[in-house]
Structures are given as C-alpha cells and as structure tokens.
Amino acid sequence: MDYLPLFINLKDRSCLVVGGGDVAARKANLLLKSHATVTIVSPSLSLASQALVDDNKLVWINSDYHEEHLADHFLVIAATDDESVNSTVYEQAKLKNTLVNVADNTELCDFILPSILDRSPIVVAISSGGKSPILARQLRARLETLIPPTYGNLARLVGRYRDTVKAKLPTLGLRRRFWSDLLQGKVADHVLAGRDEQAEAALNVLLEQTDTHELQQGEVYLVGAGPGDPELLTFKALRLMQQADIVFYDRLVSKEILELVRREAEQVYVGKQRAWHAVRQEEINQLLVTHAKQGKRVLRLKGGDPFIFGRGGEEIESLAAESIPFQVVPGITAASGCSTYAGIPLTHRDYSQSCIFVTGQLKEGELDLNWSALVQTRQTVVVYMGLAGLASLSEQLQKHGMDPNTPAALVQQGTTAHQKVWVSTISKLPEVSEQEKPVAPTLVIIGHVVNLHEQLNWF
C-alpha cells in the first residue's frame, strides 16, 4: 500500500488553494464540502472560482503566490497552470511541514485526493495511487450503482440509536450481534426503500423483543469455499464469512478467499494431511463445539463442497448432538470447478450420460472401489484424492475391462492462476505422473469427454 487512506476532520481548519482556474475551484469546492475554511490566492479568477468568491464561500487574496501566503494553513493545494509556481509551493510547503498536493502531479504530493462515493455519513474513497484516476472513477461509477442513495440513512439511524442500544445490551459482543442482524433484516429493507418511519418502528419492536440470552448463543457456519477462484464463492458464503468471530480453515482454502473473511475474526488453520486424518477430525469437531458454546459465530471453511469428500457430515453431527445451531452452505466442488476451467464438460450428449465421483484414497495401501460401477461406457469418472493411488487406479481399471486408451486428465490446482492440465490415457497415467510430478490438489477425470479439452480449453 503506497498511501494510507485517512479521513481527516477539516471542519474550521484553514486550507489554502493556490490558483484561480476551474481546477482550483473544484478543489476548493471539495474542501468546502467538508467545512474547511478556504483561502484562494490568484491574480485572476475563472467564472467558477469567481462564483465561490461572490457567494462569500471563501477568502480571495488577489495576488501572485508568495511564501507568506502559506502562513499557518493546515494544508495547501497548488492548482495553477504554471508548473514552476506549483513546484515552488511544493518545496516551501515541505519546508514548513504543511501537507501539500499539486494537482495532476503525484510526484509533488504528500496526499492525493481520492475518487469519492458520498453516502454521508458513509463515504467510500478510491485511489489508484495516482496510477490511473480513470480506473478509480470507473470503479466509483460501478459502486454508485451498487450502493443505494439511501445507504447513508442507515448509518444515521444506527447513530441515533447507539446509546439506547448500549443501555439495553451491556456487552460489545451482544451489540455487534444485534446490529449485524438488524442491518441485514427488515429494518434495513425499510430504510433502503425510503420508509424511514416504518424502519424506526420496526427497530423499536426489535429492541423490545431482543432476548440477550438468544443473542449470546453461538452458531456454526459450515461453508464450502469452492475449488480456489474466490469469484466462485456464493453470496451466502461471503455474507457468513463477513460475520464470523473465528474461522477454522483447511489446507485447500486459498489465501485470497481468507482475505474475504471478516478482518477481526481469529483465523485458525486446521489443515490436515492424508495420513493422520482420523485423529485430527475429532479434535476439529470438538473445537467447533467448544467455540460455539462460548457464544461465538464459528466459521468452518472448507475447500469445494463440505458434503463432497469433505467430512462435513461428521462435523455437524457433533453439533447436532449438542443442540448447537448451524447452517451449511454448499460450495462448487472440485469436479465441477476443475472440469469447467479445463474445458471438459462432465456430461455431453455424444460421449457421456452419467458421471460418478469417487475417492482415490488408499485404505491400507489399496483402492477399495466398486470397479464394475466405474467401468461403464458413456460415463465420466472423477477421482478425488487420487494422486497417491494413481498407479493402482490405472491398473485396476484396465484389469476390470476399461479400454487402456480411455482418455484421462489430471487437473492440478484447478480454477486458480496456477492451474495445470495434463491429458493422457488411463494406461499412461502413472507415466505422466512420474514425469510431470503433479502436486496436491489434483483431480483425475476419466472418460471420452476429456478429448474435448483441446477444443474447449478456455481458461
């Protein structure tokens, strides 16, 4: 981060604008909007600047710029069309330790003015660090369409009720829970639709009915994080990720996805390795129970879909046994994500009418699968956790009658920027693995649909 975003209270602080053109007028207007006391120094004024003077909004010093004009101003913006004047202002301001900004010259700036989305008291500031103001403006335009104009009213309503809620709910945890429920419910809907009176009435009802006991109860969110690309998260996953107090995450959950979890949430890595699965799983189950019983909103974030080779069922069984409330959010499973990003449709009218997901995990060094169910024509077989047992998989499929030339693909780190796809046949899978040394996570896809990769590979 090259610049630290700060929101500065400029109320009644004196600020200087050097220049009297339209750019200067725009900068002066911005300062005036935040209630600063503005002085403008320039030997002439454009119409826009003149209008500000005529309306008595600011003080005009009718003169060329001189060092003494810096006086005790808190900050100065140089916006003349004379570069040498602008750099003089910059140098002199630096010496005096006055914050300085030179319009359109990032090199000569202590601070830069962001693109602003104003839903006061909610204000969003966007900066490209001076690299591309146009991009920042485009982003702002997108946010304009996403954040309704009434959004600020929501913040104002909360502001008005802060003290009342504080009096009723003694702890920070309770209040946070109350507000976060409220801001996602009916009250917020009323405000955003411009029905302020109904909103206030609904808030009062809610406040009266709020049972501190209920608010203190913890809950677990078992959430599927998808195969890697953060954009494959569901809206619901994102919402619950944003309200968690603590998150237990797996090896398969990417850094980019973790970045989207509420910043204040404690992050606990419970990634497990193949061999010592069984022991650790019970510990994880217990961790979820313990933290939920402390009244926390516990996020259990798992790669792909929690109910597909994710042991999600076991984790919520222990919650159910303890009567702890929980929600489960499905995620895009590796089979779906990897096949899509590899351009391999899992089913296709010409090649495959069914699809089967199996685990390739070894049990006492062996693959224990229903081979006759796998060796079917016009079917796609997807093998999760298949790397370690790849040689055995290849051998058994052939032994049970699958054509050695049946196409097979390995998709490593699917849907991420590091995705790699190797296409081969089932008989050659061990050889490919030997040569290319794929690493986890890798998914195996078997069937004639694999041939479509060459034509449909889009990612």
Q: Which of 20, 218, 227, 343 binds ligand SAH (CB under 6 A)?
A: 227
**Nearest residue (CB) to ligand SAH, 394 versus 442:** 442
Rounded alpha-carbon distances, angstroms, from residue 120 to 117, 156, 180, 196, 279: 9, 9, 20, 16, 52
Concerning whether 12 is annotated as a catalytic residue, the answer is no
351 touching ligand SAH, by CB under 6 A: no
**Which one of residues 309, 315, 356, 402 is an interface residue with ligand SAH (CB under 6 A)?**
309
Residues 65-104 that bind ligand SAH (CB under 6 A): none
CA distance 8 to 322: 49
Site membership for ligand SAH, residue 411 (CB under 6 A): yes
We find the least distance from the C-beta atom of residue 388 to ligand SAH, in angstroms, to be 9
Pick from 102, 146, 105: which is nearest to 124 by CA? Answer: 146
The CB density around residue 339, as the number of other CB atoms within 10 Å, is: 26
Q: Which of 71, 27, 66, 33 minimizes the C-alpha distance to 48?
A: 27
- Cβ within 8 Å of residue 83, ≥6 positions away: none
Residue from 266, 440, 457, 459 binding ligand SAH (CB under 6 A)? 440
- Tell me if residue 250 is catalytic: yes
Amino acid at 455: Q
The DSSP secondary-structure symbol of 252 reads T
Alpha carbon 96 to chain centroid, angstroms: 41
| C-alpha to C-alpha distance for 47 and 306, rounded to whole angstroms | 64
Cβ pair 390, 360 in contact under 8 A: yes
10 binds ligand SAH (CB under 6 A): no
Q: How far apart are CA 16 and CA 459, in angstroms?
A: 52
Tell whether residue 415 is a contact of ligand SAH (CB under 6 A): yes
Identify residues 286-305 at the interface with ligand SAH (CB under 6 A): 302-305
* Binding residue (CB under 6 A) for ligand SAH from 80, 340, 352, 442: 442
Q: How many Å apart are CA 292 and CA 286, to the nearest integer? A: 10
Q: How many residues bind ligand SAH (CB under 6 A)?
A: 23
The token duo for 181 is 């429920």
Residue of 168, 186, 236, 272 with catalytic role: 272
Query: What is the pattern of x (binds ligand SAH, CB under 6 A) and - over residues 252-291?
Result: x---------------------------------------
Compare residues 22 and 256 and give the one whose CB is closer to ligand SAH: 256
Per DSSP, helices labelled H in 147-250 are 151-168, 172-182, 186-192, 196-209, 212-215, 235-241
Q: How far is the CB of 90 from ligand SAH (least distance, A)?
A: 50
Site for ligand SAH in 357-386 (CB under 6 A): 384-385
Question: Is 438 among the residues that bind ligand SAH (CB under 6 A)?
Answer: no
Catalytic residue among 229, 250, 296, 302: 250
Q: How far is the CB of 226 from ligand SAH (least distance, A)?
A: 8
User: Which residue, chain included where needed, has tokens 């006759």?
Assistant: 372
Which residues bind to ligand SAH, rule: CB under 6 A? 227-228, 252, 302-305, 308-310, 333-334, 338, 384-385, 411, 413-415, 440-443
Residues annotated as catalytic (active site), given as ranges: 250, 272
